[in-house]
Amino acid sequence: MITTEEIESKLLTLTFKSYVFFSIALSCLISFLIGLIYNLLIVNSQAITESDVSKMETWSIILLSLIIAPLFETVIFQTLLLGFTHRYLPKYSNLIVSLLFAVNHFSSIKQIVATFFICLIFNYSYLHAKEREWNPFLTVLLIHSGYNLFVTTIFLSSKAL
């Protein structure tokens, strides 16, 4: 059985680029597994805002999901909220901010659960990058944009069908 300490020591040996790619892949895997489990348990579930998003132009979906949303959400949730809560409640800061991030993405239970776990990765990455003296803002921004690129590609390809 792999221990938390072994995982942490492996993560510490990753380069910045490897860490960003690993975090994007982990985020996508978690999102896929949550979606799979949710779809097996609940049939015909659709996000409330999915029809609104499908009416948007492709360029605006890409601009919003790859640049604007990651930029503002990284500033608000990781830089401001995580920075503040980690100072005063270090044991619970990741969970608190992840819960707030999930509630902010409310359109379905599936999306709340998925974004909660994805934000745990974003928050951990922010704190990990800060500890390693990388740029924590840029780290999370790249991971968030990479994850959104994956999700947006799937959404746009299903929209084209």
Would you list the DSSP string of 104-128?
HT-SSHHHHHHHHHHHHHHHHHHHH
**pLDDT for 45:** 44
**Ranges of each domain in the chain:** 4-160
Residue 116's pLDDT is 94
**Which DSSP symbol is given to 14?**
S
CB 144 within 8 A of CB 73: yes
Structure tokens at 108: 């379905």
pLDDT at 6: 74
Encode 89-122: b = buried (16+ Cβ within 10 Å), e = exposed. eeeebbebbbbbbbeebeebebbbbbbbbbbbbb
Count of other CB atoms within 10 angstroms of residue 19: 21
CA–CA distance, 51 with 116 (Å, rounded to integer):
23
Compute the distance between CA of residue 161 and CA of residue 159 in angstroms, rounded to an integer. 5
Structure tokens at 76: 């608000």
Tell me what pLDDT residue 47 has. 45
- Does the CA dihedral 4-10-16-17 come out positive or negative? negative
- Give me the average pLDDT of each 10-residue run along the chain (161 residues): 70 78 79 66 49 68 87 91 92 94 84 91 94 93 93 82 63
